[in-house]
Amino acid sequence: MVNLDKLRETVKEMLTREDVKYVVGYEKGTYGFRVSPSFAFIPEDVDKFIFSPLCVNNLTIYPMLEEKLPLPKDEKEDARKIGIVVKGCDSKAAVQIIQEKGMKREHVVLIGVPCTGVVNPRKIKARFSHQGKNVDVEEKNGKFVFVIDGAIHAIPKEELIFDKCKHCENPTPVLYDVLLGDEIHSTEKEDYEEVKAFEERSFGEKWDYWKKQFERCIRCYACRNVCPMCYCKKCMVDQLSPQWVRRSTNLSENAAWNIMRAYHLAGRCIGCGECERVCPMGIPLTELNKKLQKDVKQIFSYTAGLSLDKKPLLAIFSPEDPKEFIL
């Protein structure tokens, strides 16, 4: 993975620059296999920065989450940049946000980190459910190596990484200002096999499956809050006039919310899988996202988060768009 000294050195150097406000990275979490986002404002803050296979969070949301209060008269906006440590998928989110003009390219400094797959917290928690002390995980020869109470564990990578990482097409960030480490080229191709298998089922079976999933949703909106693409100032579910989705948690409202959440990410979702990771009820939200990703790729030959010059999918049209469903 990445040389930590080099990461810290780069960030420190960046913080001494006039035009950088702060840098977002990862630091050790407080317990178990946690890693938490860390903000460095002064070079001393950088000493706690780490990068390990546990760094799952997509940090691209932070520039979008930043609160922008109305400015007092005669005061100028703080136009300094925000530095972000990005993995392959995180950089795609940044590209997509910039493409949609959600933020400006000049507003961020991307520190690219080539990534070889990150640990799925759910999978590792299933094995070590009572881990109290924080553990460091290292990657060595295709295995995740870590020490718990003096015992060395080495678990094959395939058993612990996210499913999205297995078919990752962009392990090296798409967009970066500084790249730490060597570029990794991936020969993997996303084949959407699960999606295709599910499509084959009958309408009744499909709905039975999704009904069970949607019924469990508690509408905490964690999926929305963690999503780097969900940066609307006012989300449509928070609107009261008109109130599109009622606040009660029942199948009808949950289904409407989940359909619209997936729909609003059509052609925008970059597949970082954060929504599924944070879902307290374990609803397979990425399945919906993947389905739309696949269809958008197939019908409109469009992939989100790869180029800055393309226009957003639903902001353009072509006379050759599908018309077989039109009477």
Contact residues: another protein, CB under 8 A: 198-199, 203-211, 214, 236, 244, 246, 250-253, 255-256, 259-260, 262-263, 266-267, 288, 291-292, 295-296, 299-300, 313-314, 317-319, 321-323, 325-327
CB-nearer residue toward another protein: 36 or 252? 252
CB-nearer residue toward another protein: 145 or 256? 256
Sequence-separated (6 or more) residues with CB below 8 Å from residue 108: 63, 81, 82, 83, 84, 94
CB-nearer residue toward another protein: 72 or 322? 322
Rounded CA gap, 65 and 295, in Å? Answer: 30
β-pair type (49-50, 20-28): antiparallel
Concatenate the DSSP letters of all residues of 244-260 into one string: SS-SS-SHHHHHHHHHH
Tell me, what DSSP letter sits at residue 41? S
**In angstroms, what is the minimal distance from the CB of 288 to another protein?**
7
**In angstroms, what is the minimal distance from the CB of 292 to another protein?**
6
**In angstroms, what is the minimal distance from the CB of 201 to another protein?**
8
**In angstroms, what is the minimal distance from the CB of 304 to another protein?**
13
Query: Residue 81 pairs with which residues in a beta bridge?
Result: 20
Going by C-alpha positions, the residue among 160, 119, 136 that lies closest to residue 31 is 136
**In angstroms, what is the minimal distance from the CB of 255 to another protein?**
4
**In angstroms, what is the minimal distance from the CB of 307 to another protein?**
19
**In angstroms, what is the minimal distance from the CB of 219 to another protein?**
14
CB-nearer residue toward another protein: 124 or 266? 266
CB-nearer residue toward another protein: 86 or 270? 270
CB-nearer residue toward another protein: 129 or 202? 202
CB-nearer residue toward another protein: 113 or 292? 292
Cα dihedral sign, 191-297-113-265: negative
Q: Tell me the backbone φ, ψ of residue 77, rounded to 5 degrees.
A: -65, 145
**In angstroms, what is the minimal distance from the CB of 326 to another protein?**
5
Rounded CA gap, 182 and 186, in Å? Answer: 13
CB-nearer residue toward another protein: 173 or 267? 267
Place of tokens 């050195």: 9
**In angstroms, what is the minimal distance from the CB of 322 to another protein?**
5
Concatenate the DSSP letters of all residues of 212-271 into one string: HHHHH-----HHHHH-TT---SS-TTT--TT-SS-SS-SHHHHHHHHHHHHHHTTTT---
With vertex at residue 321, the alpha carbon angle to CA 309 and CA 89, rounded to the nearest 5 degrees, is: 40
Residue 61: alpha-carbon gap to chain centroid: 8
- Phi-psi map region of 220: left, alpha, beta (phi>0 left; psi -120 to 50 alpha): alpha
CB-nearer residue toward another protein: 109 or 296? 296
Place of tokens 């507003």: 107
